[in-house]
C-alpha cells in the first residue's frame, strides 16, 4: 500500500520568496560587480603611475648622465700664470659646461651658438663636454664619438698631440611629438633632433651658482637661467620633470563635489586642478657638475 504524500510537503516557493531571493542575488552580484570595476580602475591607475615612474627614471638617467660629463675635457698642457707663478692645467675645452634658456632655444639643431626664445616657451638646456668612444656610444664607419642622438660627430678645431678630439653640444628640450604628446627631445650642433622620452608634460631647471671661481665648491644660490650671472660658475643643476599618464585613466565621477576636484603638485609645488583625466606627478633630481668642482 503506497503512502499518500502530504500536500503541504509538495508546496513550492511563493512569489514573495522568489522576489526576496532575486533581490538578495542582485545585491550580491551588484557588490561583486562594483568591487570588480573599482579594482579595474585602481589597477589602471597603478599601471599608469608605473609607466610614469619608468619614463621619469629614463629621462632623469639620460639628463643626469650628460650633466655628470658636463665640462669634461682632456688635459692639453700646463701653463704658469700669476705672481707668484702658479702652474695650472690647460684643457682641450675650457668654455661653459652648461647653458640654458627659460623659454627654450630658437633653433635647437643649429650648428652654431644657440639663442634663447624671448616669448612664451618651456626651458631648455645645453650640455657641453669632450666626447670619446668611452663616454659616448661609438658610431659611424670608421667609428667615432657620438652625440645624444647617436650621430657621429666631427672633430673639433685643432688636435691634441696630433690626434683629433671631439666636443659635443647636447641640447635637451620639450616639443610635441608625432603622437601629439609632449616629449623630451635632444638635438645637437651636428643638426637634427630625436625624441627620447614621451609624456613629459613640463620641465623646470634651476642652476646652482658659486660665488666665485675660488669658491667653486660652495653653491650660494639656485637660480633660473635668466638670473645666472656667470655660466662658468654653475656647478650644479636641479631638474624637475612633470610626467603625464599616457591615457586618461582618472575617474572624474569619484569627485562629484566641484569644490574638491582631483589635483596634483607641479614643479613649483603649486597645487593644480586636473580637468582632462590625465594623472600627473613631478619628479626632481639634482646633479653636481663634477668636472667644474675645483679640488
pLDDT in tens, 1-31: 455 555 555 556 676 666 777 777 777 766 6
Mean pLDDT across the stretch 279-293? 92
Are the C-beta atoms of 196 and 117 separated by less than 8 Å?
Answer: no
- DSSP tag of 260: S
**Per-residue b/e over 119-128, b at no fewer than 16 CB within 10 Å?**
eebbbbbbbb
Question: What is the per-residue pLDDT across 238-272, written as a single tens digit (0 to 9) for each?
Answer: 999 999 999 988 876 666 666 678 889 999 999 99
Task: Find where cell 698631440 sits.
Answer: 161
Radius of gyration of the chain (CA): 31
Stated as kind and residue range, the H or E segment containing 210 is strand 200-210
Choose the weakest-confidence range: 80-84, 157-161, 278-282.
80-84
Question: What is the per-residue pLDDT across 134-164, written as a single tens digit (0 to 9) for each?
Answer: 999 999 889 999 999 999 999 987 777 778 8
| pLDDT value of position 78 | 78
* CA 208/CA 67 separation, integer angstroms: 13
Are the C-beta atoms of 101 and 124 separated by less than 8 Å?
Answer: yes
The burial of 136, by beta-carbon neighbours within 10 Å (0-12 exposed, 13-18 middle, 19 or more buried), is given as buried
Query: Where exactly are the structural domains of the chain?
Result: 92-198
| pLDDT value of position 39 | 53
Q: What are the Cα distances from residue 135, in Å, to 127, 251, 257?
A: 14, 45, 54
* CA 194/CA 175 separation, integer angstroms: 10
Question: What is the per-residue pLDDT across 219-237, written as a single tens digit (0 to 9) for each?
Answer: 999 999 999 999 999 999 9
Which cell numbers hold the place of 173? 628640450
List the one residue out of 92, 91, 94, 98 whose CA is nearest residue 235.
Answer: 98
Helices marked H in the chain — which ranges?
A: 15-69
Amino acid at each position: 500500500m503506497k503512502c499518500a504524500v502530504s500536500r503541504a510537503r509538495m508546496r513550492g516557493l511563493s512569489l514573495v520568496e522568489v522576489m526576496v531571493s532575486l533581490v538578495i542575488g542582485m545585491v550580491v552580484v551588484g557588490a561583486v560587480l562594483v568591487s570588480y570595476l573599482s579594482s579595474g580602475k585602481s589597477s589602471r591607475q597603478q599601471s599608469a603611475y608605473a609607466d610614469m615612474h619608468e619614463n621619469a627614471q629614463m629621462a632623469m638617467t639620460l639628463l643626469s648622465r650628460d650633466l655628470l660629463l658636463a665640462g669634461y675635457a682632456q688635459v692639453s698642457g700646463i701653463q704658469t700664470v700669476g705672481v707668484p707663478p702658479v702652474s695650472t692645467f690647460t684643457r682641450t675645452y675650457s668654455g661653459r659646461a652648461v647653458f640654458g634658456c627659460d623659454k627654450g632655444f630658437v633653433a635647437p639643431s643649429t650648428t652654431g651658438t644657440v639663442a634663447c626664445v624671448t616669448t612664451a616657451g618651456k626651458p631648455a638646456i645645453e650640455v657641453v663636454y669632450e666626447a670619446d668612444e668611452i663616454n659616448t656610444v661609438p658610431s659611424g664607419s670608421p667609428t667615432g664619438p657620438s652625440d645624444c642622438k647617436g650621430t657621429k660627430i666631427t672633430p673639433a678645431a685643432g688636435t691634441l698631440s696630433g690626434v683629433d678630439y671631439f666636443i659635443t653640444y647636447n641640447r635637451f628640450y620639450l616639443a610635441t611629438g608625432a603622437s601629439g604628446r609632449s616629449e623630451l627631445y635632444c638635438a645637437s650642433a651636428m643638426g637634427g633632433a630625436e625624441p627620447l622620452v614621451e609624456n613629459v608634460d613640463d620641465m623646470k631647471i634651476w642652476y646652482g651658482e658659486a660665488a666665485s671661481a675660488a669658491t667653486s665648491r660652495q653653491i650660494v644660490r639656485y637660480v633660473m637661467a635668466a638670473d645666472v650671472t656667470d655660466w662658468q660658475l654653475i656647478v650644479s643643476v636641479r631638474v624637475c620633470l612633470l610626467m603625464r599618464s599616457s591615457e586618461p585613466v582618472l575617474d572624474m565621477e569619484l569627485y562629484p563635489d566641484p569644490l574638491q576636484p582631483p589635483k596634483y603638485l607641479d614643479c613649483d609645488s603649486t597645487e593644480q586642478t586636473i580637468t582632462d583625466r590625465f594623472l600627473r606627478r613631478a619628479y626632481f633630481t639634482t646633479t653636481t657638475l663634477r668636472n667644474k668642482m675645483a679640488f
